[in-house]
Structure 1
């Protein structure tokens, strides 16, 4: 082990020296072993060429333990042996501080892995084991700049604004359509309400007209309807050898017995003979009846039967001339005979017994005691006689006279 010094009086280095052939022009007895120095990344000086000055080093040579590091002037020659390369050895874990021109090592995946540092010249040893090989990036091989966060933020903001605008437009269109639909629905409701009101008015008018028509129909003279309603209450009465007509009137008497009117002259023979029983006949049926009371002056008799029969309603007001009537009876013993006519007059009876109704409906013996019915199916009189040697002159006792005398209507 010997210490060698270069011609420039550099810092001695220690190491094992091996002799070699003496370089041409070197005044030393023989070549020394290569000097070992601390290398720095990407700052290895190129090997010296015999006869040319050594290029300046980017970093100062290491100092000996305990000695200050001498500054290296630009262009100063580094001590060394002529013709021998200088090998710098960096201790493990010793790296120089980064300079302003140093680029960061490549990140995994961005560029290809850096090639291991090549020795400064052929035959020179590489870095120690465990020391990473560092080298400069190739010129212009900087990583491409990626999209910056502000640009992405601005893009998202613009997209959000566009989406908000589209949503606002869609919302406005939908609101407009809903408003138009609401107006249409309101207009339709108005038309429906108007149509409903019109329909209700028309319906009310139709109901009023129907009521008026019903009243007219009721007031219209319909002999068939009158006969259908009256015939069940009209009977042929047989009193001894005489026959006539009787009809049920008013409400039933006590015990459910029916009250009937007929002419006195129909039951006169039985009454004068002291009898009180007569018979009511309808087709093949026969019901017993009793003479309760008679009015000889007005030619009216009151009968009572035990059967249950529907009674006829009496007219509340007197008839008038020209009013149509129906006469129901059993002329000549022929039951359920119906004739029609009009009231000819309402006049005073010639016998002075009171007023009588004159009508032109045909009647014959056997119609005596039969009801005279108006168009409202109400009893207005009791047929009692006809003019002899004349046609179309019949007489009837007003029903009011009979009701006032017997109080059964």
Structure 2
């Protein structure tokens, strides 16, 4: 009897210990689950914070890009003029004069290492030479003269391609036509006054009334001698070739879109 009691007591003690151990294990399992939830919550919070930081950084990047774009679009005539003047010339074609500008290095430069440059102007500036079967005109800049050859013309579009056996920095052509209201700068030699700068805005881009294509209307002052000179945007790109003005009105200048010359002569 005593033995059974002792055994029962011992068994009861073991059972109690197992129950207590099971209880401890259960508590620990609950604590582990809670820790896992806390860790998952912390990770979610960390991810949300990281996402928020990324969004703020993206927003800042967008604002920075907008500021940079605004700065690029800001019109700084002295800076634009300084950048483009070395590429602009006065053209002397017999008794006529006008303006012209370098665009690119020519792909047909002589084998002797001479650098040949493509130059654009208005056809009517060199028309007298061309129609008399002449091909040579003079380019003048900074008191120096360079002989250029009339390589190609498109009379209907009033554009001409010249080539000169001297290397000059070319002006980049704008990829797209300008929009109404965009600021522009016109460089040329009105009445023989070289390196003359005038500024204004694009008034409109209109369809030509005398043929296919378009014409850029702008209000920067131009005069005889400006023909063939570049019309420049705020990014120092050529948007057009000045070629006319209203006879009985002020503030109405016209230009051939640079894309027309690029496509016609394949030089941009």
| TM range, smaller chain | 0.7 to 0.9
SS at match of 2:130: helix
Question: Quick check: 1:223 aligned with 2:82?
Answer: no
- Counterparts of 2:70 and 2:233, CA distance in 1: 14
- Counterparts of 2:204 and 2:59, CA distance in 1: 39
Contact 2:105 / 2:167 at 8 angstroms: preserved in 1?
no
SS at match of 2:179: coil
Q: 1:349 to 1:204 in 2, by over 3 A?
A: closer
Contact 1:237 / 1:246 at 8 angstroms: preserved in 2?
yes
Match of 1:342 in 2: 201
- Counterparts of 2:62 and 2:93, CA distance in 1: 51
Corresponding residue pairs, total: 211
Question: Quick check: 1:382 aligned with 2:241?
Answer: yes
- Counterparts of 1:339 and 1:346, CA distance in 2: 19
Match of 1:354 in 2: 213
Shifted more, 310-319 versus 361-370: the winner is 310-319
SS at match of 2:157: coil
- Counterparts of 1:203 and 1:319, CA distance in 2: 33
Shift of the alpha carbon at 1:219? 1.2
Match of 1:233 in 2: 87
SS at match of 2:221: coil
Shift of the alpha carbon at 1:253? 2.8
Match of 1:371 in 2: 230
Match of 1:282 in 2: 141
SS at match of 1:389: coil
Shift of the alpha carbon at 1:209? 5.1
Contact 2:105 / 2:116 at 8 angstroms: preserved in 1?
no
Question: Quick check: 1:253 aligned with 2:112?
Answer: no
Tell me the alpha carbon deviations over residues 54-101 of structure 1, each in whole angstroms, 9 at most, x when there is no partner. Answer: xxxxxxxxxxxxxxxxxxxxxxxxxxxxxxxxxxxxxxxxxxxxxxxx
Structure 2 unmatched runs, 5+:
1-49, 110-114
Contact 1:250 / 1:311 at 8 angstroms: preserved in 2?
yes
SS at match of 2:156: coil
Shift of the alpha carbon at 1:351? 2.0
With the length of structure 2 as denominator, give the TM-score of the two structures: 0.74
Match of 2:162 in 1: 303
Instruction: Give the 4+ runs in structure 1 shifted more than 6 A.
Output: 200-208
SS at match of 1:311: coil
Contact 1:358 / 1:394 at 8 angstroms: preserved in 2?
yes
- Counterparts of 2:158 and 2:97, CA distance in 1: 15
Match of 2:258 in 1: 399
Q: Which has the higher helix share?
A: 2
Shift of the alpha carbon at 1:318? 1.2
Tell me the alpha carbon deviations over residues 258-304 of structure 1, each in whole angstroms, 9 at most, x when there is no partner. Answer: 00100111001111111111111012111110000110000000000
Contact 1:295 / 1:301 at 8 angstroms: preserved in 2?
yes
Contact 1:253 / 1:259 at 8 angstroms: preserved in 2?
no
- 1:317-332 map, 5 Å: 317-332=176-191
- Counterparts of 2:181 and 2:63, CA distance in 1: 27
Match of 1:333 in 2: 192
Match of 1:89 in 2: none
Shift of the alpha carbon at 1:211? 4.7
- 1:47-196 map, 5 Å: none
SS at match of 2:82: helix
Q: Which has the higher strand share?
A: 2
Q: 1:353 to 1:242 in 2, by over 3 A?
A: farther
Shift of the alpha carbon at 1:205? 8.0
- Counterparts of 1:404 and 1:232, CA distance in 2: 24
SS at match of 1:297: helix
Contact 1:325 / 1:375 at 8 angstroms: preserved in 2?
yes
SS at match of 1:253: coil
Shift of the alpha carbon at 1:214? 2.8
Shift of the alpha carbon at 1:203? 9.4
Match of 2:46 in 1: none
Name the Cα RMSD after superposition: 2.0
